[in-house]
Amino acid sequence: MEVEYKGISMKGGKLFIIFSLLGTLGGGLWGAFEFWKDYQLLQQRVNDFVSPDMSHYDEQIAVLKSEVSMVLEEVSLVNDVATSLKNDLRDDIKTMKSDIRLQDRVIKDVETMVKDMDRQLHEDLKLLEEKLELDIKKALSNPLAGVK
């Protein structure tokens, strides 16, 4: 097929190329128009955007911060009390050890005194027994005692 227009003669292959180019140009223009329309709509939405009210979250964050602050203060107070108790216990244990050492010394001194007194008592009893035996032997050996 051959077409002639204003002195230009074209065959079917060239017409196909021209229609393809026109279709491509038309599609490109239509795509650019759609892109521009979407861009304008997006710009309008961005301009009309109103940020949501976050004051409720801000209030909750403030409350949480104050609660965390109170908890930290309480933890600090508990830590101070625990440290004080630990130090008091350490001092009490040192005092108890010192008292126990003193009591041990007193007990050892008392034991030593009791042993010395026991030994002295045994010695005194032995001397008394010996003296008593001597007195009994003297009394028995005395001819005036009248004991046979």
Q: How confident is the model at residue 51 (pLDDT cuts 50, 70, 90)?
A: confident
pTM: 0.43
Which segments of the chain are extended strands (E)? 2-5, 8-11
pLDDT tens string 71-124: 999 999 999 999 999 999 999 999 999 999 999 999 999 999 999 999 999 999
pLDDT tens string 15-50: 778 788 889 999 999 999 999 999 999 999 999 888
SS3 content of the chain, % helix, strand, coil (to 5): 85, 5, 10
